[in-house]
Amino acid sequence: MNFEESFKSSIKALKGNKVRSFLTMLGIVIGIASVITMSAIGKGGQESITGNLKKTGYGKFTVYVDREDQAFRWKYLLDDDIIEKLKNTDKFKAVSPMIKKRLFAKLGGRDEIMWLTVTTPEYEEIDKVNITEGRSLLSFEYKTGERSVLIDHITAKDLFGSSKNALGKSLEMSESRKSVKIPYTIVGVFQNQFEQYVKAMGGRRIPRFVRMPLRTYDKVYDLKANGYTDIVIESKNPDFMSEDMGEAKRLLEKFTGVKDLYEVGTLSDGASSFDSILTTLNIFVIFVAGISLFVGGIGVMNIMLVSVIERTKEIGIRKAIGAADKNILMQFLLEAVILTGCGGIIGIISGILLGIVIGNIVGIPPVFSLWSIIISLAVSMSIGIIFGVIPAKKAAKLNPIDALRSE
């Protein structure tokens, strides 16, 4: 019996028990579909979040001071005079002080953490946000220190029902949970870049963000006592950012006369670290989904073993009329490979369709990888070979006399 005859015989045997064949394939279909779907949604969410973060940080870097070594005077190494000197060199597109701080706001009867960014007109040019409702901060608000703030759309929705309803409302914040909360007027709402991926990963606690003018921060929290945390700089040409980072550090050391205390880092450093974390999570999720493939493979082996037992007499007859062991082995192995191969194809199609549907529901464009599809199909075929070998060998080794005696 040649390969073509073995293939036809395998198809005929599978058609003879359609329900069993379908149920056997189902485990493979679910496993492959799970892997394709989770991979596409995870990759789409990762690119959606970290892609925006990396794009935002392209050509931009920060300068900060090692505070552990210079705790007593670090803020004097990042003051207004130094920032002004950097601006006057005209070597950079934009230079701005940066302050990141944790505040607490009252939301739904409990205190929630708000991550504050203190902003200037220059900073808004360097690190733009997407305003979805209202407006950006105006020049007079930067000069007079009006208690005007921008908040993210998640916080706006949780507090006021919608971004539009938040405009003109008051947001009360404080440095600690116990200190007196100070009211600020919301003038604009911006897109929270972390929303999509947190939802896709099944999380509920999305980071909350707020921006206020530097002058406002100075009035409320005393800038001289707290100082700046960083200086953020945008290169004129992003392709020469590495050179600009070295130049900024050299200039600061020249202005202050202090050596080896200034550190530099790109704004996309955090995005790269976050990207690595998300990649690890994606691998873990795909691994968990892949367990169903292993379970499906065991199902294939069990069903094929049952098939061998049920078809013992058939195997005995075929051997009695001259069928070689290799012919019996090939047929049962082909049956397993056909089942898992068809299951793999159906699983890939189902995974793509499911990924598109789920992506539309959660608002994440799925990213399908050709390699993941090819690997999934290869894995499903391999499962057929690996888990089909044992039943096929058992069928091939049956003694024809014993097989013919079986009922």
For 69-81, the three-class secondary structure string (H helix, E strand, C coil) is: CCCCCHHHHCCHH
- Domains: count for the chain: 2
Specify whether 255 is located in the same domain as 283.
no
Mean pLDDT of 52-79: 67
Specify whether 83 is located in the same domain as 168.
yes
Q: Which of 232, 251, 267 is the last residue of a domain?
A: 267
- Angle formed at CA 88 by CA 86 and CA 93, multiple of 5 degrees: 70
CA-closest candidate to residue 193, choices 58, 98, 53? 53
> In terms of residue numbers, what domain contains 296?
3-51+274-405
**How does residue 403 score in pLDDT terms, banded at 50, 70 and 90?**
low
Specify whether 76 is located in the same domain as 41.
no
Specify whether 148 is located in the same domain as 293.
no
Specify whether 114 is located in the same domain as 144.
yes
- Report the pLDDT value the prediction gives residue 297, as an integer from 0 to 100: 75
Q: Residue type at 256?
A: T
Specify whether 163 is located in the same domain as 86.
yes
Q: Residue 76, class by beta-carbon neighbours within 10 Å (0-12 exposed, 13-18 middle, 19+ buried)?
A: middle
Please state, in angstroms and rounded to a whole number, the distance separating the CA atoms of residues 348 and 327: 31
- Report the pLDDT value the prediction gives residue 53, as an integer from 0 to 100: 54
Q: Give per-residue pLDDT as tens, 168-219.
A: 999 999 988 888 889 999 999 999 877 765 555 555 677 899 999 999 999 8
Specify whether 353 is located in the same domain as 395.
yes
Strands of 156-253, DSSP E: 170-174, 182-190, 209-213, 230-234
Q: Residue type at 93?
A: K
The two beta strands, 182-190 and 148-152, are parallel
**Between residues 38 and 324, the one the model is more confident about:** 38
Q: Which of 251, 267, 283 is the last residue of a domain?
A: 267
- Report the pLDDT value the prediction gives residue 305, as an integer from 0 to 100: 73
Specify whether 380 is located in the same domain as 333.
yes
Q: Is 250 helix (H, G, I), strand (E, B) or coil?
A: helix
Residue 122 clears pLDDT 70, i.e. is over it: yes
For 13-25, the three-class secondary structure string (H helix, E strand, C coil) is: HHHCCHHHHHHHH
Specify whether 94 is located in the same domain as 158.
yes
Specify whether 203 is located in the same domain as 290.
no
Specify whether 197 is located in the same domain as 305.
no
